[in-house]
Structure 1
């Protein structure tokens, strides 16, 4: 009997999603985001397969992620863009790992230019077009072009920005960001341009430019935060039944007595909980998939256990595996039930889940 949760990673589904996004992007390069350890699925694993599928550029957030990815790729040539840019003291390590920093501020530009010391180093430039996180304001970019000595030792190969509302095609911010990005990127005519994430790819040709940076839709999430028939499930999280029990009418289940049985109810106790990545907030709308049907969770998710309604389900016996997310219960659906997103659900899957890889 399996005693713990199991995470199955389908690399063929990952490759299929890459092909869908590449086709949708037209002639734009697909540069996968593999930050947060490949959205929780293993950056080295997913980047290796995506490299086999033709990806030659990748995005990470932290310096440590970039160093690890460069090591994992070995002699496979690829550009690795570091979204954090040049943080204090990081320039030597960035260069040593062969990473391309995405410069987010005038101080970062100064730090990378100073580090070059007479050589010419590649860099990407991040323009904030309305998200107000990282990136130069458009007016800062204008000032920069008037003081090109700040870029004296830098080869700006790419200008990027990031869409805040790409999953909502009709949101007015999409058009505003596109207009701002088009205007500012024109100040750097020799640089390639990148704006679209997963959702942005499907906003239309105007958003795709030279390079697209998909993340969630590579890993099974829809580009609009709802299931999309074109996108296949990459991660399947399952957990075994530890015990099947009968709860009499009027008795409660779990911490806080948050659920009370209205009738005599047969319940399965699964070996999975929030320590494995199942959101505590999944109660009261969460469900699992078993024997051809959705089975509602009952009571609060605890650290190591959840309870599931198996009334009238004779197949539910100790040792049987129930699907938490996967092809029958898509990650967008499970995330919505917990009031969160597919991004958070995937990146929260814990190492305790035994990992199985298919499609190597």
Structure 2
């Protein structure tokens, strides 16, 4: 059956490509002598690889970091395999063979992965060393193993755990990373994420790996003033109605009208990343008017107060997009807010 063209969606996400490019350039400049790469895992933090990667390429980014092998194909549409690194490494022979076939570079995290990569034919890889976050990465004691010493390591990297705060862990991790650099021959070194860039030149090495800050998140207080909002989500009003005093809204009747009130039902809910914690005290906007959220957030809908607004059924209204402010009001992290936006948004 041939389907007709899909009708316009009631959720859309506008990506400010100029702001995205400017953010990368700012982070590259703040990285000093190092070059900034770009973390584009999780579909470019939820904003869409097909829009984000070309904009970053145009800005000057040449290194792209993913988490899963399932994310590779979309990025290969825009850059060569040698520009892509998969941070989870190779779990099995199939992933190693895929890396060999595509030219995508695995980040080796364990002796087992080193063995798998070598047995697949080896070649250029990156190497993650754990310096204290205790997620992925080789222990320092393992770096002298012949399997590790035989690897062709382009980038030796580690990941900071507390770069967004003034923590003594940062200096400890830096010291351990310096120890690692004495044990492994590598073409380049990389330690800093978005927040780590703001820890200073000692943390920059050859390549930084910003993620959140590219997309408008303030991962460190020092980034304020350098980073612009990138994502502008909108949702359509799918019905308006007039309430009378005493009418309640939504599940469990958490909000009740005290006077006649015009409200709008909006086509977004927690299935689209607008979680219940984002409802209380928040507001959408239309033509500069604030439209407070009323009652409990549902899976596919919220209700807003249209008092004083001329918004009508079919109009698109602006969702909150200031990541630091929204994180503060909702209790969610900026990372969660970005990556939870669902597939129903038109990202075209």
Shared fold per TM-score greater than 0.5: yes
Q: Does structure 1 residue 318 correspond to structure 2 residue 326?
A: no
Deviation at 1:262, TM superposition (A): 4.3
1:172 equivalent in structure 2: 168
| Structure 2 counterparts to residues 1-360 of structure 1, below 5 A | 4-70=10-76, 72-73=77-78, 78-89=82-93, 90-116=95-121, 121-141=123-143, 145=144, 147-148=145-146, 150-152=148-150, 154-168=151-165, 170-224=166-220, 228-311=224-307, 313-326=308-321, 330-356=322-348
Number of positions where the alignment pairs a residue of Structure 1 with one of Structure 2: 341
After superposition, the C-alpha distances for 1:132-186 in whole angstroms (9 at most, x for unaligned) are 1111122222xxx2x335543x211111111112222x12222221222122222
Instruction: Give the superposed CA RMSD.
Output: 2.3
State the TM-score, normalizing by the size of structure 2.
Answer: 0.90
Say if 1:66 and 1:354 are closer, same or farther in 2 by CA, change over 3 A.
Answer: closer
Aligned partner of residue 347 in structure 2, secondary structure:
strand
> Quick one: structure 1 residues 264 and 212, their matched pair in 2 at CA, closer, same or farther if it must change by over 3 Å?
same
For residues 292 and 226 of structure 1, the distance between their equivalents in structure 2, rounded to whole angstroms, comes to: 29
Deviations 1:237-291 (A, max 9, x none): 1112223333333432101212233444332221211222211221313322333
Deviation digits for residues 79-98 of structure 1 (CA, Å, limit 9, x no counterpart) = 21110101112111111110
Q: Shift of residue 346 of structure 1?
A: 1.7
Relative distance call for 1:214 and 1:163 in structure 2 (3 A) is same
Query: Which sections of structure 2, spanning at least 5 residues, go unmatched?
Result: 1-6
How far, CA to CA, are the matches of 2:57 and 2:336 in structure 1?
A: 25
Alpha-carbon distance between aligned partners in 2 of 1:184 and 1:251, rounded to the nearest angstrom: 65
Give the superposition deviation at 1:60.
Answer: 0.6
Deviates more, 1:26-35 or 1:177-186: 177-186
Q: Scaled by the length of structure 1, what TM-score is found?
A: 0.87
Contact 1:270 1:306 in 2 (8 A): yes
CA offset at residue 199 of structure 1? Answer: 0.8
Distance 2:212 2:248 in 1: 38
Query: 2:234, 2:318 within 8 Å by CA — same for their partners in 1?
Result: yes
Stretches of structure 1 that go unaligned for 5 or more consecutive residues are none
Measured in 1, the distance between the counterparts of 2:9 and 2:98 equals 42
